[in-house]
Amino acid sequence: MLVEIVGYENAGLSASIDMIQQFSQTTSSHDELLALFPPIGSQIDAVIEQIHRWHPPVSVRLTIRPADLESLVGSCDFCGEPITLGPGGDALVLDSRSSDGPGSHTIISHRQCLAERIRPENRGERARALKIGKMC
């Protein structure tokens, strides 16, 4: 399998596709079967499910599950409730990095969950947490 992440062709990534769900479900149509098990040699779209940058190379987990292609849903790292990562969702993806060495960690959060964890007297940062990434 060859994977190309557009815009990151030379980034030195390691990619894998999560196939566990495909083997644990039945399909109701031939089109659904092809979506879960594309023919050899086909070119398909996938969405990024997770990125791990703790140790090189950067590890990227992709998913081709039909439900994930429509709306990627994960869980908030603060409250544990479901969160939509796709367009129209309420997710923030936070990368924490050290100023003195390699590695990073990713946290996925509801806007409100992050805002609640910012000190109350820091109203400006709380307001920005609720607005970041929104077009309006």
pLDDT given for residue 18 in this prediction: 58
Q: pTM score > 0.85 for this model?
A: no
Q: Over range 79-100, report the average pLDDT.
A: 82
pLDDT given for residue 37 in this prediction: 74
Distance CA 51, CA 63 (A): 12
Q: What are phi and psi of 120, to 5 degrees?
A: -55, -35
- Summarised one tens digit per residue, pLDDT across range 54-68 is 677 777 777 777 666
Residue at 27: amino acid letter: T
